[in-house]
Chain A
Amino acid sequence: MAATIIQTNETPFSPIEVDTITLDIIENALRNAREEMDATLFRTAMSPGIREQGDAFPLIADRNGLMVVGQFGSFIGGFLRAYEGEIEEGDMIWLSDPYSCEGAVSHNNDWLIIRPIFRQGRLTAWACMFGHQTDIGGKVPGSLPTDATSIFEEGVRIPPIKLFRKDVLQEDILKLVLHQVRMPEWCRADLLAIVASCRVAERRVNEICERFGDDLFASATDELLARNKRAMGHLIASAVSEKKVSFEDYICDDGRGFGPYKLKCTMWREGEKVILDFDGTDPQAVGSVNFYLNENMLKMFFGIYMIMVFDPQVLFNDGFYDLVDVRIPERSLLKPAFPAALSCRTHALGRIFDVLGGLLGQGQPEFLNAAGFSSSPHLMYSGFHKDSREWFQLFQIGFGGIPGRPWGDGPDGHSLWPGFTNVPNEFLERYFPMRITRYTSLPDSGGAGKNRGGNGILMTYAFLNDGIIAIHDDRWFTSPWGVNGGEPGERSRKVLRRKSGEEIILPAKCDNIEVQEGDELDYITWGGGGWGSPVERDADLVALEVKRGLVSIEGAFDNYGVKVRDDFTVDEAATTARRAEMAKTIDTSQIFNFGPSIEELRARCEVETGLPAPMPPRQH
């Protein structure tokens, strides 16, 4: 079954030749419109997750639902195939259930608004945006239960429904949904902000059409897609081999004691087409770490990576989709069967990017980046204020080390996600009962290399109120790998210090941890992997980084072979000797340095991390 689109004017658009300059103008205008969508959202949304951190994604698509501007690929095709109903002028579709749109959004927290744009009775374009809601009800604050085994435990599920009909808000529907959530005011504001953003896009599309004509707009979007397809065609032909290459990486565990879960992708080219085959990926998990991966979204990720790695000049859209064939095995971690739990998909989503990076780069190691994606480390903190008894609830996204890159060092404590920012600590302290007593990048946590991986973050939260916390993070068991001689980055860890002085190592994924006033949490994120041999790093730079507190004096010696004196100068003789020694043990024939094998990691896990090793995932 597929959606029925009701047009009052069925006249097809007449193809018009579009000169290249007009085309560029329309592309710029659409890009401006997309940026305006973001600006509108950030200015009006309420949850810190969206307004401070930017966890929201807009797009504008052509009449066929193909994304012309945006970055997560079009959600519209999947929705249209799955939606059983009519779509008319004045509709505004609202949905959150991944199973109702082929994974266009991948957990219930992402609320998606889809706006068909009609002109003179003809469907002309689409505007959409989704944003992560801080809370959508369900068993735990934040609605990302680690222990869920079905999607029914993961908060309110919204199938595709019409939030607006004939541009009238369906208040009852909104009321019904907001009644299920812990933070209805945030959800209402964020949702209306997303709606306002889509309306902004609609207005801009209308202006462009008025300026150039509806037919020309249709031809122009066709040509923008075609132009991208031609450019990507060249890139694919030159950068992707007909020989099969594979890459595999892991998410560490499922928060239920099992892991790691393997993600494997094999890539090859057949003629002009690239095949990305995830055969060999582990079966779906019992818990909520499954990632229902939409094929088109993966195509977009692939396309963006190709462009950013090989030619950042190309502007991307959905035009090249026909050139990529994505194969994902059913009932695997990346295509779980309904009603598998999905809420904690962020880990696999992050890891997909490491897999793509490793897959694309290994043919041309000079373009290869090291690994860095942990996931989006989350902290949830909620409770009732001790004085007012009012409910407070925080959902915060953390950041870590950007990988070492051919272009240079990875920045320390930065975001791998586009547009994301941290929440100012003064804001946290003013509006939540907590104090941030340390906020720093952690020396030596970035993988050593000619180009250093970025350091992870050490953030110490002092809780000023009783409450519960939840943590969602990864890369605590496997390491962010280094490349071309670079070392892996340090893994993440979480230490809860009770007021009594007792220290507890918390798992990377946990819910419902009770904290009391006076307790402190050290939230430590992963470091990026290193790029190139660390003995080739400029010794003076290593010494300067010691002075800057980014590398320790021991780390400089152990990892870079640089003997730094107390006055931060380099001891040349000791450095030469140590580096000569190190050079013998660095295996430059291997492109990737993953660190120890899974078996070794398991054996050392308890000693190194303070946590029991995960058990191999069960087949089911």
Chain B
Amino acid sequence: MSYRLGVDVGGTFTDLLLIEEKTGRTWRNKVPSTPHDPSVAVINGTEAICAEAGVKPGEIDQFLHGTTVATNAVLEGKGARTGLVVTEGYRQILQVARSLVPGGLAAWITWPKPEPLAPLETTVEVTERLAADGSVVKPLDEASVRAALQRLKNEGIEALTVCLINSYVNGAHEKRVGEIAAEIFPDIPVSLSHEILPEMQEYERALTTVANSLVRPVMAMYVANLRAKLRALGMKGRINLLRSDGGLMGSEKAEGHPVNLLMSGPAGGVTGALWVSRNAGIGNILTLDVGGTSTDVALIENGEPKLRRETSVGHLTVRASSLDVKTVGAGGGSIAHVPELTRALRVGPESAGAVPGPAAYGKGGDRATVTDAHVVLGNLPESLLGGTFKLDRDAAKAVVQKVADALGVTLYEAAQGIIDIANENMFGALRLVSVQQGYDPREFALMGFGGAGSLHSNAVGKLMGSYPVIVPVSPGVLCATGDATTQLRYEHARSFNKMVNQTEDAEIATLLAEMREVVKGDLKDEGVPEDEQSVRFEAGVRYAGQGFEVSMAIDIADFEAGRGIEAVKAAFDAEHKRLFTFNLDVVHEIVNLRAIGLGKAAEMPAQKLAKGDTDPAQAKLRDHRMWVEGQERDAVIYERAKLEAGDRLAGPCVITEMDSTAVILPDHVGVVDDFGNILINPVA
């Protein structure tokens, strides 16, 4: 038998999902994460799940892994000390940055002076210059390179970045600097900007490449460590990592390009949601992944998640493709407060974190959080995690009462207000990925997951008009499901920068064919056979003179047939009108071309539930009272594991399972589908 194992490392738990490839049979497991060395939990969990399933690690063909190692290195400022080599005259490229002071007028008064990602004392200039067309203005002075790199020797750098002006057109000078660096620093990884991001804009290219260098040593160590431990267990299969764009890449390639893994964690949730959406037969989905300190949201249209050309982690934004996941500082631990001056209710972005956590956790939290408000309202029953974890309802009431006093409202009004504001923040994030991109949220379902996603999803879905609201099966291991069920993906992009009247279909067809071979080669290197490979293409298009391009799907066959340019023009005009309400009578520019090679995804059929009689009585735990929509009401608590397909759950009610709780609002009904997902709709 062959198996694939998906593993998602989260802040609190490491989730695992083992799939028997032929049958689609699955096993799930959850072990506490080990933040000091995440691979410990991965190995513990792998051993546990193999034992449970009676599978030898040697039978696992593919190990598929979403990791926040790179993310955390950035967030915690624990990246490598990075050297940076730039063109003469540009040492301060990261110091001056784009000169932007974020915020409104006079925001400079309080904006902290940022430290560059690669320190100035480890940034050196070399003598060389390329023109904008890639021609050599001044040849590379190798003596200046050696002298500059020698100066870095004393700085204790752990990684090196090379970013020269106009190298996105011609990488020759960077390559040569890289070769010399390999002589002088044989043990240090070197990242070249034209390889990491062959695009115009020197600051963004430098920053992205430095970010790559920053996380390279820590990723390399983690991956090597993990690989050794897995091999020691007898696991011989491929080790693939989930990239920010939701595709998998081989762990060896990932070591050289870790900047592509900065959003690996959230990408697992979206790919997991994709799997659920395929089973549920719903193509348009908004995802709502609510964690302790923040909420991630994304949009899936016709089974395709939206991609963006940037990745943001904390304050760092780099040019690497990622699923368009927006994050807001609203989660279960977000703190509610009332500033004295305005007496407005604010929720977050400050969070109580894991320690002290919400007051209801009884670990010393003394400020009201979203979780406390849920406890007060009765959305969260007194015990979590299958009864092992008791909630302190009195403590929650006490802290929410403080907010109520500051606002001059009742306890329940304050608690409801805290939830409403948190919902509104989530709503705001969802609007960014839907309405602001020209999508009508009423044409989308909403799927909540993560620890608290299903506590909020019904209310947020109501605000958005997004139905059904989906409570997926096993929302706690949805990310691991995503890791295990997505596919290998390799991208190859090239700058093109030509007006459509300066090129021809044939030229583009030839380029695309070349690019196709590159990504097919990457897939072949990962052992994907020819018949399991597929390649598709995109072009970045804009009206000449605009600063941003819109990514359009293109078909190589159109260009081979001589109708590709006309097709992409028409498609762009339609998209521009949809996004921005107008078109311009201006020549179109094709900014870049991209080939995307995909391997085959796992065929993991979801398991079906036993069919019930629509009455969920067998799953009822007990009667309950909850405060909802301005009044206290009778409600019921159900146990998720005992629900049957076809059961109808009338709101208000609460559904609990091991690591997640869902709320259904009054005038709504949840129907359990064949696979165990609960689909909530308003009562007609």
A312 touches B110 (CB 8 A): yes
B100 at the interface (CB under 8 A from A): yes
Closest chain A CB from B499 CB (angstroms) = 12
A426 touches B200 (CB 8 A): yes
A418 touches B120 (CB 8 A): no
**A399 interface neighbour in B99, B546, B579, Cβ under 8 Å:** B99
B96 touches A425 (CB 8 A): no
A290 at the interface (CB under 8 A from B): no
A421 touches B344 (CB 8 A): no
B536 at the interface (CB under 8 A from A): no
Q: Which chain A residue lies CB-closest to B583?
A: A192
Q: Which residues on the A side are within 8 Å of B421 (C-beta)?
A: 21, 24-25
Query: Whole-angstrom distance between the alpha carbons of A437 and B166 in the complex?
Result: 12
B341 touches A414 (CB 8 A): no
**A422 interface neighbour in B96, B105, B168, B344, Cβ under 8 Å:** B96
Q: Which chain A residue lies CB-closest to B341?
A: A231
A185 touches B168 (CB 8 A): no
**A189 interface neighbour in B97, B110, B543, Cβ under 8 Å:** B543
Closest chain B CB from A599 CB (angstroms) = 32
B546 touches A189 (CB 8 A): yes
A199 at the interface (CB under 8 A from B): yes
Q: Of A32-40, A81-89, A281-289, A501-509, which binds chain B?
A: A32-40
Query: Whole-angstrom distance between the alpha carbons of A186 and B339 in the complex?
Result: 45
B120 touches A20 (CB 8 A): no
A24 touches B200 (CB 8 A): no
Closest chain A CB from B96 CB (angstroms) = 4
Q: Which residues on the A side are within 8 Å of B114 (C-beta)?
A: 411
Closest chain A CB from B146 CB (angstroms) = 20
A416 touches B101 (CB 8 A): yes
**A188 interface neighbour in B98, B132, B342, B584, Cβ under 8 Å:** B584
Q: Write the B155-198 contact mask toward A (1 if CB under 8 angstroms, else 0).
A: 00000000001101000000000000000000000000000000
From known contacts A21-B421, A227-B344, A427-B201, infer whether A411 and B101 are also in contact, taking CB-CB under 8 Å. yes
Q: Of A45-53, A102-110, A330-338, which binds chain B?
A: A45-53
B91, B99, B431, B580: residue with the most chain A Cβ atoms closer than 10 Å? B99
Closest chain A CB from B107 CB (angstroms) = 6
B109 touches A309 (CB 8 A): yes
Query: Whole-angstrom distance between the alpha carbons of A288 and B421 in the complex?
Result: 49
Closest chain A CB from B431 CB (angstroms) = 6
A425 touches B341 (CB 8 A): no
**B168 interface neighbour in A195, A308, A420, A426, Cβ under 8 Å:** A426
B580 touches A439 (CB 8 A): no
B314 at the interface (CB under 8 A from A): no
Q: Which residues on the B side are within 8 Å of A429 (C-beta)?
A: 131-132, 165-166
Q: How many chain A residues touch B (Cβ–Cβ < 8 Å)?
A: 91
Q: Which residues on the B side are within 8 Å of A51 (C-beta)?
A: 546-548
Closest chain A CB from B381 CB (angstroms) = 25
Q: Which chain A residue lies CB-closest to B106?
A: A308
B108 touches A416 (CB 8 A): yes
Q: Of A4-12, A401-409, A586-594, which binds chain B?
A: A401-409
B111 touches A411 (CB 8 A): yes
Chain A residues numbered 358-415 whose CB sits less than 8 Å from any CB in chain B: 369, 372, 399, 402, 405, 407-415
B546 touches A45 (CB 8 A): yes
Q: Which residues on the B side are within 8 Å of A227 (C-beta)?
A: 342, 344
A549 at the interface (CB under 8 A from B): yes
Q: Write the B562-584 contact mask toward A (1 if CB under 8 angstroms, else 0).
A: 00000000000000100111101
B343 at the interface (CB under 8 A from A): yes
Chain B residues numbered 329-347 whose CB sits less than 8 Å from any CB in chain A: 339, 341-346
A435 touches B131 (CB 8 A): yes
From known contacts A195-B582, A427-B201, infer whether A414 and B424 are also in contact, taking CB-CB under 8 Å. no
Chain B residues numbered 78-133 whose CB sits less than 8 Å from any CB in chain A: 89-93, 95-101, 103-114, 119-121, 129, 131-132
B132 touches A430 (CB 8 A): yes
From known contacts A44-B546, A413-B99, infer whether A21 and B90 are also in contact, taking CB-CB under 8 Å. no
Q: Which residues on the A side are within 8 Å of B90 (C-beta)?
A: 438-440
From known contacts A28-B424, A44-B580, A429-B131, infer whether A301 and B545 are also in contact, taking CB-CB under 8 Å. no
B497 at the interface (CB under 8 A from A): yes
Q: Which residues on the A side are within 8 Å of B119 (C-beta)?
A: 548
B40 at the interface (CB under 8 A from A): no
B66 at the interface (CB under 8 A from A): no
Query: Whole-angstrom distance between the alpha carbons of A227 and B93 in the complex?
Result: 43
Query: Whole-angstrom distance between the alpha carbons of A438 and B93 in the complex?
Result: 10
Closest chain A CB from B580 CB (angstroms) = 5
A460 at the interface (CB under 8 A from B): yes
Query: Whole-angstrom distance between the alpha carbons of A20 and B414 in the complex?
Result: 11
A426 touches B108 (CB 8 A): no
A339 at the interface (CB under 8 A from B): no
A544 at the interface (CB under 8 A from B): yes
Q: Which residues on the B side are within 8 Å of A271 (C-beta)?
A: none
**A408 interface neighbour in B112, B545, B547, Cβ under 8 Å:** B112
B108, B342, B546: residue with the most chain A Cβ atoms closer than 10 Å? B108
Q: Write the B333-377 contact mask toward A (1 if CB under 8 angstroms, else 0).
A: 000000101111110000000000000000000000000000000
Closest chain B CB from A380 CB (angstroms) = 18
Closest chain A CB from B632 CB (angstroms) = 19
A526 at the interface (CB under 8 A from B): no
A305 touches B106 (CB 8 A): yes
From known contacts A413-B99, A426-B168, A548-B120, infer whether A408 and B113 are also in contact, taking CB-CB under 8 Å. yes
B436 at the interface (CB under 8 A from A): yes
Query: Whole-angstrom distance between the alpha carbons of A544 and B115 in the complex?
Result: 13
B584 touches A426 (CB 8 A): no
From known contacts A425-B202, A426-B201, infer whether A36 and B545 are also in contact, taking CB-CB under 8 Å. no
A419 at the interface (CB under 8 A from B): yes
From known contacts A43-B548, A430-B497, infer whether A418 and B93 are also in contact, taking CB-CB under 8 Å. no
A457 at the interface (CB under 8 A from B): yes
Q: Which chain A residue lies CB-closest to B93?
A: A439
A314 at the interface (CB under 8 A from B): yes
Query: Whole-angstrom distance between the alpha carbons of A418 and B104 in the complex?
Result: 5
Q: Which residues on the A side are within 8 Å of B432 (C-beta)?
A: 32
From known contacts A426-B201, A429-B132, infer whether A313 and B101 are also in contact, taking CB-CB under 8 Å. no
A547 at the interface (CB under 8 A from B): yes
Query: Whole-angstrom distance between the alpha carbons of A43 and B497 in the complex?
Result: 17
B310 at the interface (CB under 8 A from A): no
Closest chain B CB from A346 CB (angstroms) = 15
A36 touches B436 (CB 8 A): yes
B683 at the interface (CB under 8 A from A): no
B13 at the interface (CB under 8 A from A): no
Query: Whole-angstrom distance between the alpha carbons of A21 and B120 in the complex?
Result: 47
**B101 interface neighbour in A32, A304, A415, A437, Cβ under 8 Å:** A415
Q: Which residues on the B side are within 8 Å of A419 (C-beta)?
A: 100
Q: Write the A518-552 contact mask toward B (1 if CB under 8 angstroms, else 0).
A: 00000000000000000000000000100111100
Q: Which chain A residue lies CB-closest to B582?
A: A192
From known contacts A21-B345, A196-B580, A548-B121, infer whether A426 and B96 are also in contact, taking CB-CB under 8 Å. no
Chain A residues numbered 296-318 whose CB sits less than 8 Å from any CB in chain B: 301, 304-305, 307-309, 311-315
B398 at the interface (CB under 8 A from A): no
Query: Whole-angstrom distance between the alpha carbons of A421 and B102 in the complex?
Result: 10
A72 at the interface (CB under 8 A from B): yes
B586 at the interface (CB under 8 A from A): yes
Chain A residues numbered 408-464 whose CB sits less than 8 Å from any CB in chain B: 408-422, 424-427, 429-430, 435-441, 454, 457, 460
From known contacts A71-B104, A411-B114, A440-B90, infer whether A189 and B166 are also in contact, taking CB-CB under 8 Å. no
Query: Whole-angstrom distance between the alpha carbons of A412 and B432 in the complex?
Result: 32
Query: Whole-angstrom distance between the alpha carbons of A188 and B583 in the complex?
Result: 11
Beyond contacts A20-B344, A32-B431, A418-B104: 7 other A-B pairs, Cβ-Cβ < 8 A, are A28-B424, A48-B547, A189-B546, A415-B100, A424-B204, A437-B129, A440-B92
17 A-B pairs within 8 Å (CB atoms) are namely A20-B344, A71-B105, A235-B341, A312-B110, A372-B108, A409-B113, A411-B108, A412-B95, A413-B96, A415-B108, A420-B100, A426-B166, A429-B132, A436-B89, A438-B90, A439-B93, A547-B121
What are the 5 tightest A-B residue pairs by CB atom distance, in nearest-first order? A548-B120, A51-B547, A438-B89, A46-B545, A429-B132
